Amino acid sequence: MSEIELLNWARGPGFQIASVIFVAGILIRLVEILMLGRKANLAEAKGSAMSSGLRTIITRTVPDASTYKRSVFTVTSGYVFHIGLFITIFLYAPHILLFKDVLGFGWPALPTSVIDATAVVTIISLVAVLVHRLKDPVKRFLSTFDDYLGWFVTILPLVTGYIAFHRIGMPAPSLIAIHILSVELLMIVFPFTKLMHAFTLFLARYYNGAISGYRGVQS
Amino acid sequence: MSASFEKGYNALKEQVDSTVASFFSSCVHCGMCAEACLFYTETGAPERTPINKTEPLRRVWEQEYTLFGRIGKLFGLGKKVTDEMMAEWETLVYDSCTLCGRCSMVCPVGNDIAGMIRKTREGMAAAGHAPDGLIGATKRAVTIGSPMGVKLPALQAQIAHVEKDTGMTIPVDVEGADYMLLLSSMEIMNFPEFIEAVAKIFKHAGVSWTISSEAFEATNSGIQIGVSDIAAELVQRIVDAAAKLKVKNVISPECGHAYMAIRWEGPNLIGKAFDFKVVHILELLDDLRQQGRLKVSGRLSQRLTYHDPCQISRRGGVIDEPRNLINMFADNFTEMPDTGKMNWCCGAGGGVSSNERADEIRLQVFQRKKDQLDAIHVDGMISACSNCRIHLEDGLEEYHMDMPVLSLTETLAENLEDN
C-alpha cells in the first residue's frame, strides 16, 4: 500500500468504520444506562430536583475553595488539558473544515500559532497527569488498564498531529495518515473506556444535583 | 436475617439503576473523593478512597448491566465479586464510612458516592458481611423496638421524672394532636433533657403534640446496616402509630440518620407516600420563630459554633434553620471553616458508633474536627444530633479539648422567656 493509498483508506473506509463504532458504541452505552430507569421518589420534595440537577451540570465544573486547595494539581491540570483538547480539536482550521464536511456548517478558527502552542501545553500537561497518576498513592491505587489506555489514545492524536503539522521525519501524506489513524483508534476505544465520561458526566451531574435538590440542598 | 453470598449478589443487582450506571460510567479515577473523606485525610490509606468502597457494586454493574461486561463474563474476563472479596470490603464499607456524603459534593463528574456506598451495604448485609455491633442493634430494633434495647417502661420512667421535675404533663397517646414526637434511644437514655426542652418550648409556643407509646423510636438501624426490609418495617410502625393517633405531622428529633430514615427514605421504603408530614424538630422550631411564637429572654455572649450533622444538613436539607435559631440567642456565633453542606462529619455516623470494631478509627479521624475547631477558638459547640454529641464529647476528651457540646433544642429552651 502506497502512502497515498494509506491516506485514502484512513480518510475513507477507516474513518467510516471508526465513526460507526464511535457513534453506535456511545448510543449503546447511553441506552443501556437510561433503560435501567429509576424509581419515582415518594418522599415529599423540599426543593426542585430538575432545576437543581440542571444547575449542578454547570456548577460542578468549579470546585469550592477548600476542595481546590486539597486537589490543586488534579483540578488545575484537569482544566489545562481539557481546555487544550477542546482548542486543538475544535478550533484548528483544517479540523473545522472536516466538521463542516460532516455537519454542514463551520465556525471561526484560531491562528495556527495559537493551536501549535496549545498542543504543546496540552501534551506537557497530559505527561504531567500520567506522572502524577503513577506517583500519587490514591491515583495509583485506583488506576486500572482502562486509565492508561484512555490516556494513551488521548495523547496519541496530539503527538501525531503535532508531528504532522511540523512535518517531522516522513512525507506529509504518511504523517497525516498516521494522525488520522490515531484519531480513529481514539474513536474506536472511546465508548468502551472511561472516556465515556465526556457524555455520561451530564447524566451523573444531573442525578447528583437532582438527588440533593429534591432535599433542598444545592450540590 | 439468614445471609448468603447469593442473596448479597442479588441484593447488589437490585440496587443498580440509571443513577448508579451513569455514576460508574463517569468515574475517571481522579481521586478527589479521597480528599473529601476524613477516613482518608486522617489516615492516608488509599484503600479508604470513597469510590473504592463501592467496588462490589461496581463489579456487579459491570458484569450484569453493561454489554461489554457481559461479553467479558462469557469469556471469564473482568473482575468478579466473590464472597471473599466482600468479606475483605466489610471494614471499608462499614468502619471507614459514615455515609456523610462529603465525597458526593466534591466529585467533579457528579457521582453520588455516598448513595452508592449506602446501596453497597444492602449487598454486604444480605451476604452476611456486616459488623456484629450493627447486626445486634438491628436485631434489638426489630424485636425490642429500639437499637439500644430501650423499652416502653424506660421511656415512661423518664417521662415521670420530667413531669415530677417540671410540673409539666408530657402528652402520651393523645389522639388528634397536631404533632407526634419521635425520640432516639440515645435521647431517652442519655439526654432526657431533650424531652423536657421540647415540652417547655411547645408549652411556650402553644403546640399540640403527643408521644406514641407504640412507636416512639426514631432511629432506624435498617438504613445503617443496609437492610431495606427491616428499615421498612421500622418505618411502618411509625406510619401505623401516626394513623392510629390521627396526627397530621411527625417530628423527627435531634438525630441525623433518623431524619434520613423517616423523611427521605421512609415513603420509598414502604412504597407509599405518607398521609402526614415529616418535619425535623429544627424545621418546626424555625417555623415557630418565623410566626413569632418563640420569645427568648437572655442572650449568650460566649463564642459558639454549630456542628452540622451530615444527615440533617448536607444529606437532609436542614441548613439555614439551625442558624436562624442560634442567632435568636447567641451574640457571638462563629462558623467553622467548611461548614453547612460542606461540614466535616464527626466521624461516628452511619452506624460507625454502633460498631465497636471502629472505636479506634472514629477517634483517630476526629482529628479533622479538632483542626476545624482549632481554627476558630470557640467556647462551645452546638449540634442537633445526639449521636454526634456523644461522639463529639468522646473526641474532645480524647484530644484533651475542653468545651461543652450543646443541644440546639435544649439551649433554645433554656433561653426562652417564661410564660
Residues A211, B67: C-beta atoms closer than 8 Å: no
Residues 15-74 of B with CB under 8 A from A: 16-23, 25-32, 34-36, 40-41, 44, 46-47, 49, 51-52, 65-68
- B418 pLDDT band, cuts 50/70/90, is confident
What does chain A come to in residues? 219
Tell whether B352 and B376 lie within a shared domain: yes
Rounded CA separation B46/A141 (Å): 6
User: Among A38, A60, A200, whose Cβ lies nearest the Cβ of B108?
Assistant: A60
Q: What pLDDT is attached to residue B78?
A: 86
Among B405, B322, B403, B334, residue whose Cα is nearest residue B375: B334
Alpha helices in B265-406 (DSSP H): 266-270, 281-290, 320-329, 359-364, 367-374, 386-398
Q: Is residue B404 part of a domain?
A: yes
Tell whether B284 and B166 lie within a shared domain: yes
CB B212 within 8 A of CB B245: yes
Q: Is residue B235 part of a domain?
A: yes
Residues B49, A141: C-beta atoms closer than 8 Å: yes
Closest Cα in chain B, distance from residue A167 (Å):
34
Q: What pLDDT is attached to residue A1?
A: 79
Q: What mean pLDDT is predicted for residues B57-86? A: 94
CB B90 within 8 A of CB B23: no
Share of chain A above pLDDT 90, in %: 95
The tens digit of pLDDT for each residue in B152-174 reads 999 999 999 999 999 999 999 99
Q: What angle do CA B316, B317, B318 make, to 5 degrees?
A: 100
What does chain B come to in residues? 419
- B408 is in which domain, residue-wise? 296-414
User: Among A29, A37, A142, whose Cβ lies nearest the Cβ of B18?
Assistant: A37
Number of domains in chain B: 3
Tell whether B84 and B190 lie within a shared domain: no
User: Which of B29, B42, B92, B280 has the most A C-beta neighbours within 10 Å, making it the best mutation to test the interface with A?
Assistant: B29
- B419 pLDDT band, cuts 50/70/90, is low
The tens digit of pLDDT for each residue in B87-140 reads 999 999 999 999 999 999 999 999 999 999 999 999 999 999 999 999 999 999
The tens digit of pLDDT for each residue in A107-118 reads 999 999 999 999
> Which residues of B247-335 form beta strands (DSSP E)?
249-252, 277-280, 300-306, 330-333
User: Among A64, A139, A217, whose Cβ lies nearest the Cβ of B31?
Assistant: A139
Among B238, B310, B251, B314, residue whose Cα is nearest residue B280: B251
Last residue of a domain, one of B254, B288, B322: B288
Nearest CA in chain A to B53: A142
Supply the Cα-derived Rg of chain A in whole angstroms: 20
Domain residue extents for chain A: 3-31+65-199
Tell whether B148 and B279 lie within a shared domain: yes
Tell whether B165 and B275 lie within a shared domain: yes
Residues A196, B34: C-beta atoms closer than 8 Å: no
Q: Is residue B138 part of a domain?
A: no
A155-158 own/partner pairs: CB under 8 Å, 24+ apart: A155/A123, A155/A126, A155/A127, A156/A182, A156/A185, A156/A186, A157/A182, A157/A183, A157/A186, A158/A85, A158/A88, A158/A119, A158/A122, A158/A123, A158/A126
Q: Is residue B52 part of a domain?
A: yes
Closest Cα in chain A, distance from residue B97 (Å):
17
Residues A204, B110: C-beta atoms closer than 8 Å: yes
Closest Cα in chain A, distance from residue B78 (Å):
11
Among B118, B133, B141, residue whose Cα is nearest residue B11: B118
Work out whether the CA dihedral B111, B115, B116, B117 comes out positive or negative: positive
Last residue of a domain, one of B270, B288, B306: B288
pTM above 0.90, yes or no: yes
Share of chain A above pLDDT 70, in %: 100
Rounded CA separation A131/A135 (Å): 6
Tell whether B173 and B256 lie within a shared domain: yes
Tell whether B278 and B303 lie within a shared domain: no
The tens digit of pLDDT for each residue in A155-195 reads 999 999 999 999 988 888 999 999 999 999 999 999 999 99
Q: What pLDDT is attached to residue B133?
A: 94
Judged against a pLDDT cut of 90, whether residue A219 lies above it is answered with no
Write out the three cell numbers for B187: 435521647
Q: What are the φ/ψ torsions at residue A35 (nearest 5 degrees)?
A: -65, -25
Rounded CA separation B379/B301 (Å): 10
Residues B18, A207: C-beta atoms closer than 8 Å: yes
Nearest CA in chain A to B103: A67
Domain CATH for B335: 3.40.50
Phi-psi category of residue B250: left, alpha or beta, with phi > 0 → left and psi -120 to 50 → alpha = beta
Tell whether B331 and B349 lie within a shared domain: yes
Interface contact B112, partner A, CB < 8 A: yes
The tens digit of pLDDT for each residue in B334-383 reads 999 999 999 999 999 999 999 999 999 999 999 999 999 999 999 999 99
Last residue of a domain, one of B234, B261, B288: B288
Rounded CA separation A131/B326 (Å): 49
Q: Is residue B49 part of a domain?
A: yes
Domain covering A3-31+65-199, topology: Fumarate Reductase Cytochrome B subunit (1.20.950)
The tens digit of pLDDT for each residue in B166-201 reads 999 999 999 999 999 999 998 999 899 999 999 999
The tens digit of pLDDT for each residue in B253-310 reads 999 999 999 999 999 999 999 999 999 999 999 999 999 999 999 889 999 999 999 9
Tell whether B201 and B170 lie within a shared domain: yes
Tell whether B330 and B220 lie within a shared domain: no
Q: Is residue B405 part of a domain?
A: yes
Residues B268, A33: C-beta atoms closer than 8 Å: no
Q: Is residue B406 part of a domain?
A: yes
Nearest CA in chain A to B104: A208
Tell whether B282 and B319 lie within a shared domain: no
User: Among A60, A143, A215, whose Cβ lies nearest the Cβ of B316?
Assistant: A215
Residue with cell 476524613: B38
Residues B111, A56: C-beta atoms closer than 8 Å: no
Rounded CA separation B193/B65 (Å): 51
Q: Is residue B78 part of a domain?
A: yes
Residue with cell 451495604: B121
- B77 pLDDT band, cuts 50/70/90, is confident
Query: Mean pLDDT across chain A, nearest whole number?
Result: 97
Residues A42, B316: C-beta atoms closer than 8 Å: no
Name the amino acid, one letter, at B304.
Answer: L
Tell whether B90 and B223 lie within a shared domain: no
